[in-house]
Amino acid sequence: MRTKVFIDGEHGTTGLQIRKRLASRDDLEILSIPLEDRHNDAARFERLNEADIAILCLPDDAAIATVNAVTENHKLRIIDSSTAHRISPQWVYGFAELTEGQAERIGSARFVANPGCYPTGALSIIRPLREANIIDENFPVSINAVSGYTGGGKKMISQMENQNGDDRITANYFLYGLNLRHKHVPEIRVHGKLAKTPLFVPSVGRFPQGMIVNIPLHNSLLKKHVTGNDLRTIFNDHYRHSKLISVATEEENNRLVRLDAELLANTDKLKIFVFGDDAAGIYNISAVLDNLGKGASGAAVQNLDLMIGKS
């Protein structure tokens, strides 16, 4: 018997990507509504109540309202791609590689909160360092990142691609979240097990898909002094069972002259690079991923597979 899946918000950027990934699956029955009915609550809730698993690709307020409306349907399991439930104790955080046993917790959960793209990159670095006791909860985490413009959804895609529009964006690269209160900060703090708010500086480049997340380290601030090889060993050990997350070798790092944000575009993979100067004791850890792949739609499909027992 096929699992019935409804993508609530299937006509948005994330929803379209999820639908594309599931199109050829013969183990799933995809429930759908026409584009013109996407705001028809009666049609939406009919599909929600038919489904075994719903993937919500909605704004935060709409996601909260939808979850509240279907709570009594105990058959329905939910993956929420909004930021609404990412630090809620009633929801399992949907980053399968976050820590030991996380994939199993996702697999048995009723409610799964899909991570954000920036937090996926940031936490892929922070959590192994916390668990290896290299940084403590008070470490002053600084995150600098750049994403492809598709991460901003349909509006930003239009602003970047339609150069004749009144609200077009002409910049090739820009910082945003300038008040340092970006919506992704709480989940990075909570799931990174940090006591202090991380300093997060996001930016967007004129390319559609791809992302680099950078976190600098200085030996003078760490609980233990490390070398570049020590750091690679920590990440390799943390992700030793992962099919999607890998760590660049020292040789691969040394061959690089530049790191391309589009390196893993159109994939669901993430790769960690350790750059540094052992003599100076300074390092920059970089996570490269596709903001719509491992950072959004790919993660939702990974969580769906865990929830139906397919890994």
Query: What is the rounded CA–CA span in Å between residue 91 and residue 8?
Result: 18
Listing DSSP states for 220-271 in one string gives: GGSSS---HHHHHHHHHHHTTT-SSEEE--HHHHHH-S---TTTTTTSS-EE
DSSP code for 116: P
Question: In what side-by-side order are the strands of the sheet with 92-93?
Answer: 28-31, 3-8, 53-56, 77-80, 111-113, 92-93
* 57 flagged as catalytic: no
C-alpha to C-alpha distance for 66 and 68, rounded to whole angstroms: 5
Backbone angles phi, psi at 218, to 5 degrees: -130, 125
- Among 71, 6, 74, 5, smallest CA distance to 43 is for 6
Catalytic entry in 117, 143, 145, 264? 117
- Strand blocks (E) in the chain: 3-8, 28-31, 53-56, 77-80, 92-93, 111-113, 142-148, 173-175, 199-205, 211-218, 245-247, 270-277, 282-289
**Annotated active-site positions, please?**
117
